[in-house]
Chains A and B, each alone.
Chain A
Amino acid sequence: MLNFFSSNEILLQTIAVFSLLAFSVQISLRAGAFSLAGVGCWAIGGYSLAISDRHDMHPVIGVLIGIVVSAIISYLLALLLVRLRGLYLGMATIAFNQMVGIALIHGGDFTGGELGIYGIGARISTFQLFAVLALVSFLLWALERGMLGRAYNIVRDDEPLAASLGIDSESMRRFAFVLSGAVGGLAGALNAMMLGIVSPTDADFPVIVIALTMVIVGGYHSWLGALIGAALIQWLPIGLQSFGIEGMSEWWSVVYGLLILFIAVYMPRGLLGGLQRLGSLMARRHQDFREA
């Protein structure tokens, strides 16, 4: 067991960090906002940590700065984009991410230009990463149950109904935006500590695609889905390679794409939704059997 942890430490760290990124996107999707701004915040968080590290600040302060800056920017973004819905909001937030990337390239010495910032001194252990992950998971779990969770379900699925029940969907969505940004910033800061570098490509299109993929594959209705998605998507390339049937390792990425396609089409609630349905189906069959 110990051997497993030490040989897969990098994979485990990556899963923890990307789970947080997936949470960031999942929070806004669950609130019914197709916002991908969490990826821009991921870059902002990473740079906040890197820059505060360069000024010899304690890493915890760097992470906090990342979270606060991301949250403030997300709040302003939420005010700005309040009228957009659906795919339009998605486009606007993709544009936001790209502009963050461009700003980072043109930030001069402050952001290190095209190359980004190398040699970040702050480090983080696997244990600390998982402690943070557990904490954030617990927070989201608490948010998703009870009144608040149900209110978010209504805001997502039927806005007029939410209004008729006296739910202020605008302020709820704004809160989801800020939370999503804060978690994105946290994920970015931890990622910067894990890798020791940040670069403008952190806000690039491939990161958006991977974040969205993790959430949709796992299922965006719950934090657990995002966690499953992140773990699967990060593990899959290594997993497919190690199972390698002859010649398989060369084509793993195609298999990976096909898997995403399959889940998108046949499991609208993601893997978690699929598992839950399987579970309830089996429970019902068991019950039928007992009644008969």
Chain B
Amino acid sequence: MLYEQLIINAAVLGAVFTLFALGLSLTWGALDVLNLAHGATFVTSAWVATSVYSAYELPLASAMLVGILTGGMIGVVADLVAFKPIRLLITNKRQAELSMVAATIGMGFVLDRIIGRATLDQVFSFPARAFPYKDFHIFGARISNIEIIILVLTFLCAVLLNLWISRSRQGMAIRAIAYSAKIPPLLGIHVDRMSAATMAIGGMLAGLSGTLMTVWVSGMAVSTGHSFLLKGFAIVVLGGVGSIRGCVLAAFILAFAETGIVAFGAGNLRDLAAFSLIVLILLFRPQGLFGTRSAMRA
């Protein structure tokens, strides 16, 4: 009975991690952006959704949609004001990577402080009446309706994203950009447009996980974004940068590891899981579980 419950909890946590990390993995894989503003995007989307909900009494689903679109918009703005000029101005790859990291630090800072001021760095959430929580029982364990929604949505997002990246023309274009910076423009690929689209999708995924997370644990704060960011990086590195399947698998590995650590009484060692996974995978399989890119390794 206890184990079944633990497995369900870990699976839902893994699903939220997946949604969050998919966006990171996509932008790192395609655009070489280590997006340190991803956590802030996640929090900002959730905050916009909750404020829109309480200000305009919208139905919950539309408020969440507004939050998700906000995430997408942040991604597009980031691409327009930072990544596009950097691509134009800086040709050295390492320099461009560093500049992009710095730019996302600045952006994350701006978002963090705006939300921090608006919420006075307190926990915010949807009002309790916003979502009709209901519990179901399977195999003697309890699973609520929001948990089922999270699992289903995550599954759909991961499958659709994987199909899109591997089968569609745009997906091919994104993979081409990830492979080389010089060739895609010669093939008639709009690098700027695809990059904005990738950032938009990454941002929307952050928004989706942020709003779902807020409904699920009914609470979110600026600091949640920071801890998710670090875990997201662990997942991306573990799964292999740019690999959707790897990202899903790694998210569940991390979620089960964390749940296991907490269940066996070492709750305060919980955060160790993510970082020891990063170090282990980087030492023994730097390209990640499903990674194909070994160029980074000298």
Q: How many Å from the CB of B93 to the closest CB on chain A?
A: 8
B105 touches A212 (CB 8 A): yes
List of A residues within 8 angstroms of B265 by Cβ: none
Q: Mark B135-160, 1 if CB is under 8 A from A, else 0.
A: 00000000000000000000000000
**With A and B bound together, what is the CA distance between A258 and B89 in angstroms?**
19
Q: Does B32 contact A (CB under 8 A)?
A: yes
Which single member of B105, B269, B278 contacts A209 (CB below 8 Å)? B105
Query: When chains A and B are docked, how far (Å) is the Cα of A70 from the Cα of B113?
Result: 33
- Number of A-B pairs whose CB atoms are under 8 Å? 143
- Chain B residues in 8 Å Cβ range of A102: 269, 271-272, 275
Q: Is the CB of B275 within 8 A of A83?
A: no
Q: Is A117 in the interface zone, CB < 8 Å from B?
A: no
Kindly specify which of A16-24, A58-66, A88-96, A175-183 makes contact with the partner chain.
A88-96
Question: Is residue A76 contacting chain B, with contact meaning CB distance below 8 A?
Answer: no
Judge whether A161 is part of the interface by a CB distance below 8 angstroms.
Answer: no
Q: What residues of chain B lie closer than 8 Å to A216, measured between beta carbons?
A: 98-99, 101-102, 105
Q: Write the nearest CB–CB distance from A154 to chain B, whole angstroms.
A: 13
Residues of A contacting B283 with CB < 8 Å? 80-81
Smallest CB–CB gap between B83 and chain A, Å? 9
Pairwise interchain contact B269-A157, C-beta atoms closer than 8 A: no
Tier of interface size on chain A: 35 or more
Contact between A98 and B113 (Cβ–Cβ < 8 Å)?
no
B272–A88 contact, CB under 8 A?
no
The interface stretch among B175-183, B193-201, B226-234 is B226-234
Q: Are B268 and A261 in contact (CB under 8 A)?
A: no
Among candidates A86, A259, A266, residue contacting B85 with C-beta atoms closer than 8 Å = A266
> Does B130 interact with chain A (Cβ within 8 Å)?
no
Residue of B with least CB distance to A252: B113
CB < 8 Å: which of A34, A94, A96, A260 contacts B106?
A260
Distance, CA A220 to CA B99, complexed state (A) = 11
Contact B90 A86 (CB under 8 A): no
Cβ of A110 within 8 Å of any chain B Cβ, yes or no, is no
Some 18 contacts from A to B, beta carbons below 8 A apart, are A83-B297, A85-B296, A85-B298, A87-B28, A91-B34, A91-B233, A99-B272, A102-B269, A217-B102, A253-B109, A257-B110, A257-B112, A257-B113, A260-B105, A261-B106, A264-B102, A265-B86, A268-B95
Q: Which residues from chain B contact A109 at a C-beta distance below 8 Å?
A: none
If A85-B296, A87-B32, A261-B110 touch, whether A99 touches B276 (CB-CB below 8 Å) is yes
Report the bound CA distance from A109 to B297 in whole Å. Answer: 41
Tell whether, in the assembled complex, residue A95 and residue B234 are in contact, meaning their CB atoms are under 8 Å apart. yes
Q: Are B94 and A86 in contact (CB under 8 A)?
A: yes
**Interchain CB contact (< 8 A) of A105 among B109, B268, B274, B278:** B268
Compute how far the CA of A176 lies from the CA of B252 in the bound complex, rounded to whole angstroms: 37
A32-B94, A87-B97, A260-B102 given; name 14 further pairs at CB < 8 Å: A86-B296, A92-B282, A94-B233, A95-B274, A95-B275, A95-B282, A253-B109, A254-B110, A254-B113, A257-B113, A265-B86, A265-B103, A268-B89, A268-B95
A235 at the interface (CB under 8 A from B): no
Distance A217 CA – B230 CA, assembled complex (angstroms): 23
Complex CA–CA separation, A168 to B291 (angstroms): 30
B109 near A260: Cβ-Cβ < 8 Å: yes
Nearest CB in chain B: distance from A163 CB, A: 11
Q: B89–A266 contact, CB under 8 A?
A: yes
B residues sitting closer than 8 Å to A (CB atoms) are: 28, 32, 34, 36, 81-82, 85-86, 89-90, 92, 94-95, 97-103, 105-110, 112-114, 117, 226, 229-230, 233-234, 237, 268-269, 271-272, 274-276, 278-279, 282-283, 286, 296-298
Residues of A within 8 A of B82 (CB): 261, 264-265
Q: Which residues on A sit within 8 Å (CB–CB) of B81?
A: 261, 265
CA distance A205 to B105 in the complex (A): 12
A213 at the binding interface (Cβ < 8 Å): yes
A106 interface residue per 8 A CB criterion: yes
Q: Which residues of A contact B110 (CB under 8 A)?
A: 254, 257-258, 261
Task: Say which residue of A29, A87, A257, A263 sits within 8 Å of B109 (CB atoms).
Answer: A257
Interchain CB contact under 8 A, A259 and B98: no
Cα of A94 to Cα of B278 in the assembled complex, Å: 10
Is A288 part of the binding interface, using a Cβ–Cβ cutoff of 8 Å? no
Q: Which of A123-160 contact B (CB under 8 A)?
A: 156-157, 159
Q: Are A95 and B278 in contact (CB under 8 A)?
A: yes
Query: Are B92 and A157 touching (Cβ within 8 A)?
Result: yes
A254 to B112, alpha carbons, bound, how many Å? 9
Q: Which residue of B lies closest to A205 (CB)?
A: B226
| Contact of A257 with B97 at beta-carbon distance under 8 Å, contacts A80-B283, A84-B286 already known | no
- Inter-chain CA distance A156–B95, complex, in Å, is 10
Closest residue of chain A to B93 (Cβ to Cβ) is A86
**A209 to B86 Cα, complex, angstroms:** 20
